[in-house]
Amino acid sequence: MAPRTPIPIVSVDPSKRPLEQKQPLHNRWHPEIPPVGEVKEGDLFRVETIDWTAGQIKDSDTAEDMKAVDLTQVHYLSGPIRCCDERGVPAKPGDILTVEILNLGPLAGDEWGFCGVFDRDNGGGFLTDHFPDASKAIWDFDGIYCTSRHIPGVRFAGITHPGLIGTAPSAELLKIWNDRERGLHDADPDSVTLASCLHTRPMAQPPNPSGACLGKIGQGPDWDRIAFEAARTIPGRENGGNCDIKNLTRGSKVHFPVFVEGANLSMGDMHFSQGDGEVSFCGAIEMSGWLELKISIIRGGMEEYLTPMGPTKLHVNPIFEISPLQPMYSEWLVFEGISVDERGRQHYLDASVAYKRAVLNCIDYLSKFGYSKQQVYMLLSCCPCEGRISGIVDIPNACATLAIPVAIFDQDIRPNKTGLPVGPRLVSKGQAPTARYTGSLETFQNPATKAPGT
């Protein structure tokens, strides 16, 4: 018998541009994007991916590339892969496609990653009103560990995972997506309560032919039609997609709903490591990478296991089995936020506001140990921190918590009677590069001094 070497299904060359890859990539969801390969139940196969921006961000010490990033292009995905059972019969709508992630890692010869903050006017992030400038940190990989010259004094093992993996939507599901998101896009942001307290960012991104990459679909009327219909890959949706579950590492399984014949599985956006919430948006340590996978099909599994809802029976979410191989951190420091915003305004059981407060509390705290706040913001986006919804019923306050493992720092960051380190900082301050910001820079140092409502 032959060794069980994974069958290469998608191969990439991260030094080449997306259109130059041997197998075409795609960066939109659409049922008509044709498969680039086929796998059977029981096959052990390998998929390679380029980084989500297709090389727009460089291993450099400036954040100008972050500031200027073209987000109409993201995320570049490998696939679709047509999925069949052992006899070659494809997965059918209504089935479950179970995908097992057996191993993964960065591509050989490309062992580095980046995380960063987008400019408020070009992408933004969870705390974009507090950190409006673009910035960036480059991470070097030492096997399973990573360090950054831009955020010194921390080192951790990555819980490496694909940020984005999903099946293709049917035409009917695609229409549902476009309809519901367009409504939000067209809304007046001021009328959306949560947006006003979270940040000034776009509400949703409807289909946009600019920057679209549609795999094997060549130029022509089909391309135009599909590019105008195809959904952006930014949000997670019924098909999985950009769900950013940070523990979806080697040894995990995902049970996806199948909406089109063959399931048309795609993936990309590999993360060397990510914190729960991926708060800075370009928050995980982004990289190119490879995955070793197996699939199996549960016939009729959507109805059996997933409870599709709505008149169309398409409202459904995947189920995940995360890996038993997780790093064991014994000691955590936990920051809490409640749903009272930084201007002192009361919100009603709002976990997003509460989590924002927990993150800001943690940034304030860690910045006392020699880091700039921007460094901590990026660190919380990419290190293995856990974001929890601790209480969601105690009117009027939701309580969210952010737990950070103490062991990733080279100093003891716990409160103690001796007080903070004094004199020369324990951390020799690296300086995360920041793009020159040309907009009007608001200061959020002391937001509470502002009049409510401004």
Least Å distance, CB 338 to a second copy, is 5
Instruction: Report d(CA 154, CA 137) in Å as an integer.
Output: 13
Subset of residues 188 to 207 that bind a second copy, contact rule: CB under 8 A: 192-195, 198, 201-205
- The crossing angle, in degrees rounded to 10, of helices 351-366 and 373-382 is 120
- Using CB under 8 A as the binding rule, whether residue 55 contacts a second copy is answered as no
Which is closer to a second copy, CB of 29 or CB of 335? 335
Contacts with a second copy in 205-244 (CB under 8 A)?
Answer: 205, 234-238, 242-244
9 vs 245, beta carbon nearer a second copy: 245
Shortest Å, Cβ 371 to a second copy? 14
Rounded-to-integer distance, Cα 269 and Cα 370, Å: 31
Nearest distance from C-beta of residue 189 to a second copy, angstroms: 9
Contact flag: residue 152 with a second copy (CB under 8 A): no
**Window of 31-39, 214-222, 223-231, 343-351 that interacts with a second copy by CB under 8 A:** 343-351
CA 39 to CA 225: how far, in whole Å?
29
Inter-CA distances, 235 with 123, 177, 206, 301, Å: 13, 10, 11, 24
Selected binder of a second copy within 26, 40, 136, 294 (CB under 8 A): 294
Whole-angstrom CA distances from 275 to 157, 281, 290, 357 are 12, 11, 21, 16
Nearer to a second copy, 24 or 239 (CB): 239
Q: Measured from the CB of residue 205, what is the shortest distance to a second copy in angstroms?
A: 6
Contacts of 172 (CB under 8 A, 6+ apart): 312, 314
Which distant-in-sequence residues (6+ apart) come within 8 Å of 248 by Cβ? Answer: 101, 161, 162, 165, 254, 320, 322, 323
User: Contacting a second copy (CB under 8 A), which of 23, 56, 223, 333?
Assistant: 333
Considering the complex, what minimum distance in angstroms separates the CB of residue 222 from a second copy?
A: 28
Residue with smaller CB distance to a second copy, 91 or 217: 91
Q: Is 451 in the site for a second copy (CB under 8 A)?
A: no
**Cα–Cα dist 298/116, whole Å:** 39
Query: Site mask, a second copy, residues 264-283, x = CB under 8 A?
Result: ------------xxxxxx-x
Site for a second copy, residues 361 to 420, rule: CB under 8 A: 361, 364-365, 368, 386-401, 403, 407, 414-417, 419-420
One residue of 24, 31, 116, 125 binding a second copy per CB under 8 A: 125
Residues 6 or more apart in contact with residue 320 via CB below 8 angstroms: 245, 248, 252, 253, 254, 255
